[in-house]
A and B are shown apart, each in its own frame.
Chain A
Amino acid sequence: MNDRGLGNHLRAFRTERGLTQAELAQKVGVSRKTVNTVENSVFIPSTLLALVLAEALETNVESLFFLTSPFRSDKI
């Protein structure tokens, strides 16, 4: 299981809805850096944040996030 990582379509969903990173961050109640690091797969969000992000982008978590392989070791 440890060789699986977390990918996401956050940037695609965000731009599709015409939101900047800052606007999405404001909507979700986190910093722009958090959105930036999640988008770039540097930071793995908690389940709660993933759900809130999905809600803000009017989609579901499964559409927003997906499992990748192999696991990237430079995650924060």
Chain B
Amino acid sequence: MPLFINEDTDALIRLEQQRGRNAHVARLILGVGAVVLGASAARVCGGGDKVATIPLTVWTMIAAGLVMLVMGGWLAWRSWPGSSSTLLLRLSGERDKVHNKQARYMLITLIAAIGMLPAAFQASSIILARHSVWSDWVMAILLSALIPGLILGALLNGGGTKLDYIYDEELIQSFRARALGVGYPTAMLVLAALFWLGLFRPNWAVLAAPSALLICVTVPAWTFAWLNLRSER
């Protein structure tokens, strides 16, 4: 008979405590890593075609940020219920594991997207200041497409093909419907506001575009994550 993480046994309580500690450390490391990486990426974008002149400290920051993201991701993976250790596989239900994997994938994607936001912002501001080179345009367009793409990808197919068999489950269908039902009007409102801002303050609208896109895609993703969390209770 499979055991589950909400059953009241000493072993499971100890396991949950360990997961809790790992999760706090993971959040801290992921947060710091995302900030460092985002800030460093912004500096690199600002450098444009003068990448060779970027100081060693920036490259060090990028490396540190990457290491922190990898460490944080690993800890987050280990701390989430249903992670891949033998013990946890035995303790978790297969389908719960898949649900949690999907939510975890989405949250990690969100953190990555938030890390990209400063780079997108930086590229937009350089274009606006008319000091741009071609790489700034590439960066702005790429990131503007990549951020929503990443999150929508996670929302629609979080975790890859291994999850396909559970997508037809009606609970997940209802989660998706609710998430998109909240996300669509939010996107319409935010983009309408951006449009009107663009009519009166075009510069502000350009600067606000990456943030607006981030809001549009994070709202449905967080809604899904919240519904998933609520279903645990």
Residues of A within 8 A of B (CB): 20-23, 25-26, 30-34, 36-37, 40, 42-43, 45-46, 49, 76
Contacts and interface: CB of A to CB of B under 8 A. Distances in A.
Given A22-B93, A40-B233, A42-B230, A33 B1 contact: no
Contacts, number: 56
8 contacts: A22-B93, A25-B93, A30-B169, A31-B99, A31-B169, A36-B232, A37-B171, A43-B174
Chain A interface main SS type: helix
* Chain B interface main SS type: helix
B106 interface: no
Given A22-B93, A76-B227, A30 B171 contact: yes
B114 to A, nearest CB: 27
A20 B1 contact: yes
A76 B175 contact: yes
Which 6 residue pairs across A and B have the least CB separation, nearest first? A31-B95, A33-B231, A34-B171, A37-B231, A22-B93, A76-B174
Contacts of B232: 33, 36
B49 interface: no
Interface of B: 1-2, 4, 93, 95-96, 98-99, 166, 169-171, 174-175, 178, 227-228, 230-233
Contact of B171 (A23, A26, A33): A33
Given A31-B169, A40-B233, A43-B171, A20 B178 contact: no
A32 B99 CA distance: 10
A20 to B, nearest CB: 7
Given A23-B1, A25-B93, A32-B95, A43 B231 contact: yes
